[in-house]
Amino acid sequence: MTATDDFTGDILIENEQVLALARHIPATEDIQKVIDGTGKIAIPGGVDPHVHLDMPFMGTFSSDNYETGTRAALFGGTTTVIDFILQKQGNSLYSALEEWSGRANGNAVGDYSFHMAVTDFNEQTRQEIRPLVEKEGITSFKMFMAYRGALMIDDRQMNGLMQEVRDCGGMVTAHATNGDMIDYLVAKHRAEGKLSPLYHYLSQPEITEAEASARFADFGWYNQCPVYIVHLTCEGALNAVRRATMRNQRVMVETCIQYLLLDASLYERPDFEGAKWVMSPPLRQKKDQETLWAGLQQGLVQVVGTDHCPFTWEQKRMGENDFSKIPNGHPAIEHRMELLYSEGVHKGRISMNKMVEVACANPAKMFGMFPRKGTIAVGSDADIVLIDPEVRHTLSARTHHMHTDYSAYEGREVQGKVSTVLLRGQVAIDNGACFVEKGYGQFIRRSKV
């Protein structure tokens, strides 16, 4: 199955690519290996466009590095991830690229690419945009509208960055929440002694995301720059996008699997347990989940990622006495495809083609990797996932491969399991074991779209 096709037949792979697709390919002597996929569904390798591996953040590092993170992704049927390079304010974009390449090169098990998060836009960084797009194949530039003092850029810088990225043929993406309003609410709650994880949620009300999403879309419209909102969570923000479409603007939208399935009642769990789901934006309400599933159907939400940014329980406990010190993020890279299959396809909310569209094809297309990634077609990389729709299993920290000692989905039963994964023609995962080593993962240079 691809985003558009559905057929029963054989796939012939030569070296790293798909050589032929046919109803029947005879097993001649030249064929070295045959994988019997009877009863399974073959889909393209997943493309997760939003992950944070080995990322310095809130006084610590996300707990999956390139090796553990991309391996866990493979176990879950995601063969390519796009990680965020974070520029250090005051430093150049190229120095950040060097730092991230140093962490990834030779360590990744699965394929990867980079977005560049510009946290300090000035004349020097402006001049680095074109070579990043044209020489390095880094075509997407992220702006944080929150985390003042660390990652946030202001409206003046946002407009400057949009104009430069537009002129260079790239795309701008945003963490679209109103950072100053959030900072005000965080300070207010802390001053009132309201320090539990619930107040992380209550410090980021829907309006903070709706306002910033509208502002980001407006600036994109004014600057005629392609814009993409990462991890959109709620009705108010999606309605801001809907309004932008009424002036014929295209605003691309990614949500993440957790916002489709989990809700803010988790923050009320006793004994600090809500910290497991402290992420930004926070989980929302059930009505927002309905909005997002409908948005997928309507085509207004085009991508489902993870925003995988895991921390161990010990790291989460940095905020035991103050929610604002809990490292933001949670583990998800391994579960996106199976959860989308189980909760989306199996439960009849989306078709299998739609699943491939939002988890494989669209992220590959929007970020300049299609048709090398995101589909099964002659000439594409042979990144192929076999899902066994009959297997029912339970998600748990005891069995997952992410480098965290808790699961955001502990005990959740899932219908359908990734049984075999090929990455560029190699069997990477089969029957619960990994057969590729660290260093097998390649950096994927992306094209302008």
Contacts with Zn ion by CB under 5 A lie at: 175, 307
Structure tokens at 421: 């994964």
Nearer to ligand URP among residue 150 and residue 449 (C-beta): 150
Percent composition of the chain: helix, strand, coil (DSSP 3-state, to 5): 35, 20, 45
Among 210, 227, 266, 279, the residue binding ligand URP under the rule CB under 6 A is 279
Counting every residue written for the chain, the total comes to 449
Q: Which of 253, 257, 256, 339 is nearest to 299 (CA)?
A: 253
- Nearer to ligand URP by Cβ, of 11 and 82: the residue is 82
User: Per-residue x/- mask for ligand URP, residues 191 to 210, rule CB under 6 A?
Assistant: --------------------
| Of the residues 241, 309, 345, 361, which one makes contact with ligand URP according to CB under 6 A | 309
Binding status of residue 372 toward ligand URP by CB under 6 A: no
The CB-of-49 to ligand URP minimum distance in angstroms stands at 12
Q: Which is nearer to ligand URP, 304 or 356 (CB)?
A: 304
User: Looking at beta carbons only, is 179 or 220 nearer to ligand URP?
Assistant: 179
Residue 328 near which of Zn ion, ligand URP, none (CB within 5-8 Å, type-dependent): ligand URP
Contact between 170 and ligand URP by CB under 6 A: the answer reads no
Q: From Zn ion, ligand URP, none, which one binds at residue 279 (CB under 5 to 8 Å depending on kind)?
A: ligand URP
Report the partner that residue 295 touches, choosing among Zn ion, ligand URP, none (CB closer than 5 to 8 A by kind). Answer: none
Could you give the C-alpha distances from 184 to 19, 69, 194, 196, 197, in angstroms and in order? 57, 34, 14, 17, 17
Asked if residue 52 binds ligand URP (CB under 6 A), the reply is yes
**Which member of 307, 334, 338, 357 binds ligand URP (CB under 6 A)?**
307
Q: How far is the CB of 175 from Zn ion (least distance, A)?
A: 3
Nearer to Zn ion, 3 or 230 (CB): 230
d(CA 321, CA 196): 7
Subset of residues 71 to 130 that bind ligand URP, contact rule: CB under 6 A: none
We find the least distance from the C-beta atom of residue 96 to ligand URP, in angstroms, to be 15
**Which pairing describes strands 140-144 and 17-22: parallel, antiparallel, or unpaired?**
unpaired
Q: Which amino acid is residue 420, in one-letter code?
A: T
Q: Closest distance between Zn ion and the C-beta of residue 280, in Å?
A: 6
Q: Is 329 in the site for ligand URP (CB under 6 A)?
A: yes
> How does DSSP classify residue 68?
H
Please report the DSSP string for 150-217 in residue order. Answer: TTB--HHHHHHHHHHHHHHT-EEEEE-S-HHHHHHHHHHHHHTT--STHHHHHTS-HHHHHHHHHHHH
The whole-angstrom separation of Cα 408 and Cα 258 is: 9
360 and 222 in contact (C-beta within 8 Å)? no
Contact between 175 and ligand URP by CB under 6 A: the answer reads yes
Cβ proximity of 430 and 419 under 8 Å? yes
- State the minimum distance, in angstroms, from the CB of residue 188 to ligand URP: 21
Paired residues of 141 in beta bridges: 116, 172
Q: Identify the three-state secondary structure at position 447.
A: coil
Residue whose CB is less far from ligand URP, 175 or 354:
175
Work out how close the CB of 403 gets to ligand URP at its nearest, in angstroms, rounded to a whole number.
16
Task: Report the DSSP beta bridge partners of residue 12.
Answer: 20
What is the rounded distance in angstroms from the CA atom of residue 343 to the CA atom of residue 366?
25
Residue closer to ligand URP (CB basis): 132 or 230: 230
- Least distance in Å: CB of 142 to Zn ion? 8
User: Which spans of this chain sit near ligand URP (rule: CB under 6 A)?
Assistant: 52, 175, 279-280, 307, 309, 328-329
